Amino acid sequence: QLQLQESGPGLVKPSETLSLTCTVSGGSISTSSYYWGWIRQPPGKGLECIGNIYYSGSTYYNPSLKSRVTISVDTSKNQFSLTLGSVTAADTAVYYCARHHSSSFYDYWGQGTLVTVSS
């Protein structure tokens, strides 16, 4: 059974950089037809796609976040990572990693990790 697990700091200061890693187990990240993505959910609000990455390194970023986001992949560790720069309180959210089928759906999700932006 495929499993995804997010890890990283739960507290980030304003203007600094948020960094998270997703570790994939029970399957290879180097699988054709699947991307690997990050989605976030501010407290009490809906879901927002941040972006996806293919194992080859090809990326998609949400246009509204593109200037601050980098997603990278490490196939040797079966991990992919998110960095979000110049964070503000508006970036406080639960961050999920998930697997994205190329025909457009997210089928496996991590449990999510809460990141709070506060001084």
Does 112 bind another protein (CB under 8 A)? Our answer is yes
Using CB atoms within 10 A of its CB, is residue 78 exposed (0-12), middle (13-18) or buried (19+)? middle
Q: Can you tell me which of 7, 31, 85, 106 binds another protein, judged by CB under 8 A?
A: 106
Residue 53 to residue 64: CA distance in whole angstroms: 17
What is the b/e burial string over 86-99, where b = at least 16 CB atoms within 10 angstroms of the residue's CB? Answer: ebeeebbbbbbbbb
Tokens of 102: 């190329």
Compose the 13-52 pattern: x for residues touching another protein by CB under 8 A, - for all others.
--------------------------x------xxxx--x
> Is residue 89 a contact residue for another protein (CB under 8 A)?
no
Give the separation between CA 102 and CA 93, rounded to whole angstroms.
Answer: 26
103 touching another protein, by CB under 8 A: yes
10 near another protein, judged by CB under 8 A: no
- Shortest spacing between CB 46 and another protein, in angstroms: 5
Q: Which residues bind another protein (CB under 8 A)?
A: 39, 46-49, 52, 60, 62-64, 96, 101, 103-107, 109-112
